[in-house]
Amino acid sequence: MASDALTDYDFWKNYWLSKEGLIFPIPNQYTFTKELAELIESKKINGILDVIPSYHTLTIIYDITLFLSPTQNVNDQLQLFSTQLLSEYENNALTINKNEETIHQVPVCYENIFALDMENISKTNQISCQAIIQLHTSKQYDVYSIGFLPGFTYMGSVDEKIKIARHPKPRNEVAAGSVGIAGLQTGIYPTNSPGGWQIIGKTPWKIFDPDPNKLAKFKVGDQVQFYAIGKEEFDSLNEHI
Amino acid sequence: MSIKILHKGLADSIQDIGRYGFQHLGIQPNGCMDLLSASLANSILQNDIHTPVIELHFPSSQIQFLEDGIICITGANFVPVLNEKSIALYKPILVKKNDVLSMLQPLEGSIAYVGIKAVYDSPKWLNSHSFNTAKLKTEDVLPFSMHPSNPIAMKTLNENLNHALIEQVHNNIFSNTNPIRILPGPAWQDVNENALYELINTPFTISAQRNRMGYPLTGPKLNLNIPNAYLSSAVTRGTLQLLPSGDLIVLMADHQTIGGYANLGQIILVDLPRFAQMKTGISFKFSVANLENAQTLFRTMYATF
C-alpha cells in the first residue's frame, strides 16, 4: 500500500474512474507519464481538456459530452480508451525518442539568509550543513510533476541522509524561488505562498512567468541539477524583482 | 466603461467557465463555483456561454451601473435591490445609468451571479477572465460594453424565457435535500468499514472556513488504515480529501492542480452546484453514486445550455 517512497506503484492498482476524470496506473518507469501524455496530446482527441502527469498517475480531464458517446456504456468506453492507448504506447515504446530530456543547471544560494531550515535539518539528521549542500547538488533530479501552484516543481529523489518531513504547520509565506525538501522530494516555490517544505536555499531564477509565451520553466521529464552560488552571484542573477 | 464597485464585498470576483489546458503546468482552472446558475444567467440573457459574470458572496459588493443595460441575477437569493427597490431573480432586469445594485441578506444559498447583457472588454489570461487572486475592490471599474437596452431587446428576452428550465435548475439546487452523491476515489479502500459507514450515514456540515479553494467539512473524524503518505496526483473540483487530522475537505473552483492527501472520492458534477450553494452549518449526507448514472444525469442537466 502507500508509502512515501517515490516509486510505489502498488497503491494505484486499480485505475480510478470519476465523473470528470480518468486516472491511469503506470508501469514502473517514471517517464511513462510524460510519454503517455505526449501520445495523448499528439492524437488531438476531441473533448480532452487537460492531461496531467504526476509521479505515478496520469489524469485526464474530459468533457463527457464531447469525449464519450451517450449510447454506449461509460465504463466500457473508458476501459476501451485506456486499453487501446496503453497498447499503442507499448507498440511504440521502442520508437519513442528518450533522448530529448532537457537538463537544467540551476543556481541556488544556500546561505543562511535564504536557508531557513538548514540548521533544523542539520540537527535532526545529524549532518553538517556543508554535507547537506554537497548531497543536494550531487544528483540530477527528475521533474515528476508541476502543480500545487502554477510552476511549482516536484523533483526527486534526494539522498536518504537529507530526507526530512514537512513542517507540521506550514509557514504563512515562503519566498518565490525558495528550494525545499519534503520527504525524498525536492521542489522550488514559483511565487510567494504559504508552504510547509523545509527550505534550504533560493534560486535567483524566476521559474514561472505569467507571460503566455513563457509560463513554467520546467516540464515533467526534465532533469534538474543544482549548483551552489554565493549571495553576490545570487544578486547579479536575481530575477525576482 | 460600465460597471463600478461602490463598496467591495467579502470575496467577489469576475468569473467565466474557467481555464482548461494548463493544469499540467500547475495553472488552476478557476471559474464559477456554481456553473449551473452562472450559465443560466447567460442563457436568460442570450449571452455566449463564455461571457463572464460577477460572482457575489455575502456580504456582497455594492455595484453601480455607469450606462443603461440589461442584467440578470441567478443563484443565491441575497434579496437584491436596485436603488432600494426589490428586483426579481431569474429575469432580465433593465438598469439605468447610475442605478445601484445592493444585496440585503443571505436568504437562500451562498453564491449569487449577476449576468450582464454585454461584451467584457478586458484581455483574457490563457483563454479565461477568471483569475483566482483577483477579488473585486472598491472603486474597481469593470469594462462591460453594454448591449443596447431598448424595450424590444427586453421583450425578446422575456418571450424566450424557458420557465420550465429555470424552475428545474432552481429546484435542483435549492429545494433538493437528497444526499450529495460521490464516486469512490483511490483511497476508498484505505479507510476501514466503520469510517465508510460514518461517511455515508453521519450528517456533515460545511464549516465557516469555506472559500473558493475548498469547503472544509465538520463531522465525524475518519481514519485511514494506513499511514497518510500518498504521492501527489491530480485533483479536481469536487474531490473529497481526507486530511491527516481525520477531517474532510472538498476542493472547489480555485483548487490546486495536484494534491497529496488521501483522495476519498469525487462529488458528481450535477450535485456540485447544489453543494457549492449549501449554507454554512446546514446538515447534509453523502451517498454513493455510479459513474454511468452520474454521466447520464450530467448530460440531461447540461443538454439545455
Give the pLDDT confidence of B72-128 residue by residue, as tens digits.
Answer: 999 999 999 999 999 999 999 999 999 999 999 999 999 999 999 999 999 999 999
Of the candidate ranges A44-48, B13-17, B173-177, the one whose mean pLDDT is the lowest:
A44-48
Domain boundaries, chain A: 10-92, 103-237
Q: Which of A10, A20, A73 to mutate to test the interface with B (most CBs of B within 10 A)?
A: A20
Which amino acid belongs to residue B238? G
In the three-class reduction of DSSP (H, G, I as helix; E, B as strand; rest coil), residue B196 is classed as: helix
Report the pLDDT averaged over residues A6-28: 37
Report the pLDDT averaged over residues B55-73: 96
pTM: 0.89
Report d(CA B41, CA B117) in Å as an integer: 10
Which residues in chain A are closer than 8 Å to B266, comparing Cβ atoms?
18-21
On the 0-12 / 13-18 / 19+ scale of CB atoms within 10 A, B60 is buried
**Confidence bin at B153 (pLDDT 50/70/90):** confident
Closest CA to B73 of B54, B61, B87, B90: B90
Report d(CA B177, CA B275) in Å as an integer: 10
Closest CA to B277 of B108, B132, B59: B108
**Grid coordinates of B274:** 447544489
Highest mean pLDDT among A15-19, A218-222, B273-277, B288-292: B273-277
**Cβ atoms of A102 and A223 closer than 8 Å:** yes
Yes or no, beta carbons of B232 and A50 under 8 Å apart = no
ipTM of the modeled complex: 0.89
**What would the pLDDT profile of A102-147 be if each residue is shown by its tens digit?**
899 999 999 999 999 999 999 999 999 999 999 999 999 989 889 9
The partner residues of A92 in beta bridges, in order of sequence, read none
**Confidence bin at B290 (pLDDT 50/70/90):** confident
Q: How many CB atoms are located within 10 Å of the residue A194 CB?
A: 11
**What would the pLDDT profile of B10-60 be if each residue is shown by its tens digit?**
999 999 999 999 999 999 999 999 999 999 999 999 999 899 999 999 999
| A4 interfaces chain B, CB cutoff of 8 Å | yes
Q: Is domain A10-92 annotated with CATH 3.30.1360.40?
A: yes
Closest residue to B26, CB basis, from A11, A61, A152: A152
Domain boundaries, chain B: 3-174, 180-302
On the 0-12 / 13-18 / 19+ scale of CB atoms within 10 A, A139 is middle
Q: Which CATH number fits domain A103-237: 2.40.100.10, 1.10.3720.10, 2.40.70.10, 3.40.640.10?
A: 2.40.100.10
Query: What kind of fold does domain B180-302 have according to CATH?
Result: Cyclophilin (2.40.100)
Residue A39 has pLDDT above 90, yes or no: no
